[in-house]
Structures are given as C-alpha cells and as structure tokens.
Amino acid sequence: MDDNARDYELVTNAAGRLVPTRVNGRPVEPYQGVYAHRPSGRTAAPPIPTCAQYPRDGNKVVADLQTALRRCGLRDGMTISTHHHFRNGDVVANQVFDLAAGMGVRELRWFPSASFPCHEPVIRHMDSGVVHHIEGSLNGPLGEYCSRGKMAGMGVLRSHGGRYRAIQDGDAHIDIAVLAAPAADAFGNANGLYGPSACGPLGYTHADYRYADRVIVVTDNLVEWPCHPWDIIGNYVDYVVVQDSVGNPNKIVSGGTTEITTDPERLRMAETVAHFLDHAGLLHDGFNFQAGAGGTSLAFVKFLRDLLQEKGMRARAMSGGTTGFLVDILEEGMADYILDGQSFDLEAIRSLRDNPRHLAYDVMQAYNFHAKGNSTFMMDAIVLGATEVDVDFNANVVTHSDGKLLHGIGGWQNSLFAQCTILTIPALRRGTPMIRDRVTTLVGPGELVDVVVTERGIAINPRRTDLVEATSHSDLPIRPLRELKEEAEDICGCTAPEAELTRRVVAVVEWVDGTVLDSIWQLPED
Amino acid sequence: MDDNARDYELVTNAAGRLVPTRVNGRPVEPYQGVYAHRPSGRTAAPPIPTCAQYPRDGNKVVADLQTALRRCGLRDGMTISTHHHFRNGDVVANQVFDLAAGMGVRELRWFPSASFPCHEPVIRHMDSGVVHHIEGSLNGPLGEYCSRGKMAGMGVLRSHGGRYRAIQDGDAHIDIAVLAAPAADAFGNANGLYGPSACGPLGYTHADYRYADRVIVVTDNLVEWPCHPWDIIGNYVDYVVVQDSVGNPNKIVSGGTTEITTDPERLRMAETVAHFLDHAGLLHDGFNFQAGAGGTSLAFVKFLRDLLQEKGMRARAMSGGTTGFLVDILEEGMADYILDGQSFDLEAIRSLRDNPRHLAYDVMQAYNFHAKGNSTFMMDAIVLGATEVDVDFNANVVTHSDGKLLHGIGGWQNSLFAQCTILTIPALRRGTPMIRDRVTTLVGPGELVDVVVTERGIAINPRRTDLVEATSHSDLPIRPLRELKEEAEDICGCTAPEAELTRRVVAVVEWVDGTVLDSIWQLPED
C-alpha cells in the first residue's frame, strides 16, 4: 500500500477506536454501537439471466477451469470468490490464480470465505500483481504478509455473517464465484456429501452463487442429474468443470484438533462453563447451544451433555463446527437436531448425509445480521475462545498482543448475539497475562460478552445483573474481571505488553453491520 | 376498466397477435419469439433489514392477522401476495381482504400464485373497490368476472415460472406476502408437512418471501424452533400469526380428480402417448418425465410405468402435481426421485415427509425462464392437456372457444420446454371440433409443441423431423394435424366456432420471458 495513495482520513468511532473513512476506495462508516447502525437502500441484485442463453439440454460442462474462467470473461480488476469448506485442504483457489497468472490477468481481488496456510502460494501472485489484495479471513502466513504492509490493498476482516451481509448489501460485488463441490451434476446442482472429497455442507457458498455475476462449479465427482440435496442450486450456475480433485477433506482440520483436551487447566475451564450454566439456571429441556470444534469446547460439550442427562433434560439444537462428538449426542437421543455450517470429520459428514435430524444450514440463516433475525438469537448459550480480553469485556480474536494479524474472525462476532455468550480464555499464556486494560484489536464489543471463564475464576459482565443475581449464592469462583487481571499480572510479574505498531492501516475489522470497528496497524520493520 | 382511461396502443406481436403496449400503467414488450427476448438490467432487490429491529429472542408472534397487517403498514394501493398450495381449500386470502375492508383500505392489488372458485368472495371486494384487480391465474368465477370487463384493472395471466420471473425481475413488486403455513415456529421457519393442514411443499412461496418488502407467516400449528425443513426461511419473515385454521387440504383437489380415467377414449389417448414415446425411441434407463394429476395423465403414467418395467428400465425423476400414483412408482423402485412442486393427496404429503427420494423443489428450479436454465429442460417428455390446438400446433389453455377466461396457466407454458412436449386433446368435445385454424387465445407457441395426441390419431410437429423419422415405420396412427381437424369437422358437421368478442382488452397472457403473447378480450353483453 503506497502511503502517497492514501485516500482516507482516520476518525474515532463509537468504541473509541481510530478507523479509516475509506477502505480500498470505498467510503465506509465508523462503528456506531452494537445495534445503532440502520442500513438504508435495497440489497444487491445480480444481472437477469435467460434460459435462452444456456444449453437446451442443461449440460453446462466445459473442458476445464481455464475455459470456464475465459467464458466468464475473466479480466483485470475482477473479484473472484471461493469457499473454505476444505479449509487447509483447498486446492481450487490456488489453481484459479495460477491460471489467471498464465492468462496474463492482473489486479484481481480474492474474496474467499476464509484463507488458510495452504494458500501461501497466493503471496507470490500478490507480489507479482496478479492478485491486488485479499478480502476475507487471513490466517497464518497471509495474515503476517498483510500485517507487514505488503498487500497492495487493505485487508477487510469480516465475520462469516458479515461476509454474507457484505455481498447481500452490495458492499462486495463478486464477478466470478468459483465453487469446489464434492458432488455435482452437469446442470450445476451440487453438494458436499458424496464422493472422494466429501466435506459436508456447502453453506458458505450461498451468497456467492445467489449474488455473483458468474458462477463456476468445479467438481471431481460428476453425478447424474438431479444431484440432491442441491446445496448449490444449478439454476444459478454458469459452467461446470470436472477435474481430478477439488480438495482434500483430510486437511479440513489443520493446526487444531478435534479431540477433547487433556490439559487439566482447559478441562477445568470447560467444566466450569457447564457448572456456570447450571447454577445460573440457564439449562432447561430444549436447551440450544453452540460450541466450537476445539479441545476446550469439546470438553465443555461433554460436561454439558452429562449434566443434561443427570437432570433428565435434552438439548434441542446444537451447532458449531460439527464433529463426531455432536453426532454421538444426537444419535444417543440427547438432542433433537444438529445445525451444521461446517463439518470437521467423517462422522459429521456421514451423519449429515444419513440423519434427517442433522441439518445443513447456511451462513445467512445462522449469522446474517442484515436479516429479519438469525439463528444465533435462539442459542441459549455459546462458548467461544479469544486471544485477549480487556477489563470492559471487550475481546480480540484476530491479532496477538504484538499486533500481528494471525487469525480470521470466522463466525465469532456473529455468535456474540446468543442469549448468553461465554468466553473461555486462560488468564495467562506462557508467562503473559491475557486480560488487559484495552484489547490490541477490538473484535467483540464488551457489552455482548456476558461471562469470561478463566482457569482462575469466572467474571460476569456487570451488565448482566440477572446472571450476577442468579449465581450470587452459588459456590462458583465468581470474581471481578479486574481482580483476575491483577492476579495474572502478579504471577507474570508484568502487565500484558503493548504492541508497538506503526500508524499505517493495513486491514480493518468490520462489525456485523458493515461499519468499521477497528484497524489493524502495520508492524514495524524487524 | 374505463375506456376513457385507456393508456395503451394495440400492436401486433411476433405471433401475429394484437396486444397492448401498457398493462395497468406499466409499459410492456410484445412477444418477440420463443427465445428472442433478452432481459436487461438486474433483478429486484428487497429493502435491507437489520436484526437490530427484530425481537432479540426471535419470537415474531403477534396477536392476529390484522395486527400483523397493520404493523406491515397495510395501506391503499399496496400489492398483497398469497400462495395457492391449498388450491380450492385456501382460507387466508379471503381473510386478508375481509380484514382490509374492515380497516378501510382500498385499491389493493391481489397477487396470488393462483386463485380458485373458493375466492369468489373477492368479487365483492372488487365491486366495492377494496381490491382493484387480481394479477394471477383466474379460475372459474373470477375468470368470468374478468372476461365480462368488470375488473378495474387488467388481468395478467402468468405461468408459475412467469410469476417467479416477474417478481424476480421487478415487474411485480410485492408489498406484503401473507403465507399460510401448516407448520411454523415463532421465528417464521415454516413448511407444509406437519399438522392438521399439511398440504405438501410450499415452493410457490419462495419468490414471495425472498423479494417482498414484508412477510407474514400464518399458521395453525406453531411448533418449537427450529421448524424443519424450512421451506419458508424465518430470516425473511417479519411476523408470525397463529390462528385456528389456515386451509383445508381436503379441498386441494376440486372439480378435477386424482383417479385414473375410466373413459375409454381418454384411456386410449394415454396408452397412445406411452407407445409413441416407445416407438420414437425416447424411453431409456434414467428417463425423466412430467405428467399432471388429471385422469388422462395418471393413465399415461400407469402405461409408461408398465412399459418401462417390461423393458427393464427405470425412471430417474418424475414430476407433476404429485399423487399416490407417483409415490407407488417411487416406492416400488421404478424411479429414483419425485420432484414435487405441489402435492395433491395425503399419500404424496406422507411420502414427501418421510422419503428422502421425494424432493420438494421450488418454482424457480422447475420453471423460471430468467435463470441459468431450469429443470424442465432435463425432462425427456412432458404430457399436457389443452382447451384448443390449431393447425400450427399453437395451443390454448386459458379460454374456451367462446373466448371466456376460465383457467389459469399453471406450469403449462413452462413445461413446453421439455425435450418432447406432448399435448393430449380430444379432436372433438360435445360435438365441437377442438382443432382449429387459429386458437382463440395463444398460450403455447406451436414451435414448442412436438406432438398432439387425439383419440383419432397422433400428429407430429413437422419441425421435429427426428420424431417423424423415428416413427415413420411404426404402426402408430400418425396423421397430419390438418387431417385430424378435417375428420373432426366432418363428424361435427361444422368447424370450431369463432368467439364473438369486443375489442377491449380485459387481460393479457404473458410469455415466460415477460413479453405479451396475447390478449383476452371482453365478452359481449349477454
């Protein structure tokens, strides 16, 4: 990003954060408060197609991806979207930009639903100018590349729901969506349930195929029409490409784990969350909850399950990146439904395919804030992690305390709207306090964080007088957040370090409504 | 319609039909040919909503329908849509206009996916000015009311796919969609599968809830969240109303029958169609077909099924208004899938609910011509009826030979795009020839009608040289259409009567692309 080309002012938003007034040339609004912003106008609208211009036999298969890209009119400056259901096992995005490079196309905007370390090759295309910048979650090396100010455009970090919203609202126009599909028919109906690359639901594609000008489905498993369930609906698809592989589902889990943690401290936090819900009176027959696929979350799910059983209760709907753990609970009749936006293991995929109570739902239903409500509001409790939290219950999930951008937002911001949002975070990690006066990057406004659970106690947000009162006579280790902070600082012998950053914006964090919540600042030269 | 207020010219379109240049104040294009029209611009776009303005607990239930209508801002001149899955058993549409009358609202446009004789009470509201006019299929008394020139606005007859297209393209803007649902949760997720009013799929609602400004779901069966399958997606719903009844599924079938015909002539036509497909070499393993729920169609399905079995073949996908007949074929393993847009009996509803191979699909997927293809193009054969056919294979399905408007178009026009479209029509009915020089009203352009099957022989459209050749050595009674016409005229001792009509347009027939295919003219005074 050329400093001389800077076209924005910096203003202080309602959260007291300094944010730019323009992002990649587009005027943006500063964050106004959790519920304050009111959208105006109407949604985006794709061009009206006509059957007269599509094959009379419904067969949209073309020779290869390059042919499809050419027929879609790929040219300089276009926005190309891909989905991340394969996470670190995706192959299609790299293929698209390798092809674009070969075709001599430049200045593309990549608009993935998330990027992963497997996409490191895109750095080369950014260096050479084939890709101008990435708008979407930047995990690992791509995040660091952005943090170091090497990306030609600004990064825009959106939650999953925020990405859907941005497409729907017309903030982000997709020229060509390139959608990998483990099963597809020649008309373009597709799903992620069958074939060698089966990866589960394809809900992150729905905004892409509904709003993009052009849509390419890429599959390694062409099936007879009609391919059902039609997670991708062929009536929106321009071309179908068949190739040897579209992704490696074994790499969906990467760097993380889908095993219950064995770390005693994490186990204790997980158990504490379950006990908190119990003592706060939040458990009931028909309880809805969401928890991630990480080790602590899985441990929580286990404790919760046992607690519900003990009380003779069952859950109604469970959501989260889906694993065999949720499937077990569903199959033993301890819950009515799994709501699945992303499958993490083969058990989850099998269950989604075969169990009518294992439901695929899309990111619109789960998370879109610019809708007439969304499913998260129906969640009785959601358990999330964070990289940092501050004394006002604000939380960070994208940068570390050195300010380096290393993680995407995922559905994290969207999940904050549950009836009770619980963050689990160690009070200290490797000798450094994780509770601070002010988070390095603001991703979750404190007023939506109801409870912080650490290995040293539970802090309840004072706004939640109902929770404070309900647990006031319990034997839970409930303590002020500031006290937990001080205890961690005493142990570490220091406060959390302040990141030393330049005053140059390399990326922004959007709030779920499209306003700008915070800036990511360029790291200083090493 | 006041003659002095006439704001249109009449022009001759590409089919040689005289059509108006404006319809209800909106400029329209004359028909240009089956595939000639190219849409421009982008689709309609509803206002962007925000979760900030919807209940934080997701509960959208309000006291009653009047409250919901008031909160949706019901006022003079608005467009109100309803669906017709209950067909002649609908109660909600009459309720809406009775309430509107009570609220003093006037000049509404009713935009149903179809209207039926049960909606005769709306005539009173048209007489009094509460309803200005109806845009949608006009069956029975409402059609006659329109034919007699009593409706204040022009009728617009659209196919099911054409209605979706009109909403999608922004030709028809819905202010408030009022959608009856046999099962719904408080968030607005809904389906037609469960409860006392279970009626099957709700696919005719999809354009309504996706594009309308405001959406009301009315149910007599409020279920716990999440109501699944979410045929209506709650994220698009503003209010939920719970009342005693929303419709009578026993009246889905009215005037017609879902029994195989016992009429020997009709049985013979049905058998002829099956034999034609066989001799023309169109049958194959994985055959896709569509046939209606009427007596002749059901007989055809039976003959086809037996023929496939005899040949050791099975069907891939079957569609049409669904009945127990298709369910039997699915359950005995003679077909892979039912594609269901409208259920006609309890067996169909049960199967849709329980059989994962019985698929609900919506009118967008089945029929929308302004999409990137649709399912009809994948149909190997479709069997349809007609009120009249002419020597150029043009067909009529909305008026009788006296010019009186009595039937809606349904999916009829959309179905013409199958690989082989077969019309079954008696060469004569009650002493009157049904084959004429020129159809009274043009609804289906002859170039899309491949075969006409009568009780006196089969006529193949000369454009289909492949079918002519394939059957040239068969013993099928293949004859020129003109010869069948003359034979019927000889028997009747007359040609088909010419309707005597005024030169005043009371309704128009849209082609699937939104251009105007023909006009319906006012009947003379009795």
- A286 contacts in B (CB within 8 Å)? 224
Residue of A226, A237, A373 lying closest to B51 (CB–CB)? A373
Contact (CB<8Å) B51/A187: no
pLDDT value of position B320: 86
CATH 3.40.1080.10 residue ranges in chain B? 3-251, 264-501
Asked whether A285 and A315 are in contact (CB, 8 A), the reply is no
Residues in CB range of A104: below 8 A, 6 or more apart = none
Of the candidates A336, A281, A306, which has an alpha carbon nearest to the alpha carbon of residue B223?
Answer: A336
Of the candidates A349, A311, B110, which has an alpha carbon nearest to the alpha carbon of residue A326?
Answer: A349
Nearest CA to CA, how far is B489 from chain A (Å)?
37
Supply the Cα-derived Rg of chain A in whole angstroms. Answer: 23
Does ipTM come in above 0.85? yes
- A316 contacts in B (CB within 8 Å)? 224-225
Type and span of the H or E element at A279: helix A264-279
Per the structure block, which two tokens stand in for A128? 């050479």
Contact (CB<8Å) B48/A370: yes
Nearest CA to CA, how far is B196 from chain A (Å)?
22
Q: What's the CATH number for A53-135+172-253?
A: 3.40.1080.10
- Fold adopted by A264-501: Glutaconate Coenzyme A-transferase (3.40.1080)
Chain B residue nearest residue A53, CA to CA: B372
pLDDT value of position B1: 47
- For residues B363 and B380, give the distance between their C-alpha atoms in angstroms, rounded to a whole number: 19
Among 3.40.50.1220, 2.60.40.1180, 3.40.50.2000, 3.40.1080.10, what is the CATH number of B3-251? 3.40.1080.10
- Average pLDDT for consecutive 10-residue bins of chain B (526 residues)? 72 98 97 98 98 98 98 98 95 98 98 95 98 92 95 97 98 98 98 97 98 98 98 98 94 73 92 97 97 88 96 96 93 97 93 97 97 98 96 97 92 97 96 96 98 97 98 96 98 95 96 98 91
pLDDT value of position B254: 62
Per the structure block, which two tokens stand in for B25? 């104040």
- For residues A248 and B202, give the distance between their C-alpha atoms in angstroms, rounded to a whole number: 37
- B52 contacts in A (CB within 8 Å)? 35-38, 369, 513
Chain B residue nearest residue A187, CA to CA: B373
Contact (CB<8Å) A45/B44: yes
pTM over 0.95: yes
Residue B322 burial (10 A CB sphere; 0-12, 13-18, 19+): buried
Residue A98 CA: distances (Å) to CA of A82, A93, A94, A133: 14, 9, 6, 15
| The Cα angle at residue B77 between residues B76 and B83, in degrees rounded to 5 | 110
pLDDT value of position A258: 74
Asked whether B386 and B425 are in contact (CB, 8 A), the reply is yes
Residue of A168, A224, A339 lying closest to B286 (CB–CB)? A224
pLDDT value of position B5: 62
Nearest CA to CA, how far is A51 from chain B (Å)?
5
- Average pLDDT for consecutive 10-residue bins of chain A (526 residues)? 72 98 97 98 98 98 98 98 95 98 98 95 98 92 95 97 98 98 98 97 98 98 98 98 94 73 92 97 97 88 96 96 93 97 93 97 97 98 96 97 92 97 96 96 98 97 98 97 98 95 96 98 91
pLDDT value of position A1: 47
pLDDT value of position B257: 62
Phi then psi dihedrals of residue B87, to 5 deg:
45, -115
- B41 contacts in A (CB within 8 Å)? 47-48
- A282 contacts in B (CB within 8 Å)? none
| The Cα angle at residue B499 between residues B498 and B504, in degrees rounded to 5 | 135
pLDDT value of position B304: 96
pLDDT value of position B497: 93
Type and span of the H or E element at A383: strand A381-384
Chain A residue nearest residue B47, CA to CA: A42
Interface with B, mutate which of A31, A48, A359, A367 (most B CBs under 10 A): A48
Task: End-to-end CA distance of chain A: give it in Å, rounded.
Answer: 18
- A362 contacts in B (CB within 8 Å)? none
Residue of B46, B51, B56 lying closest to A42 (CB–CB)? B46
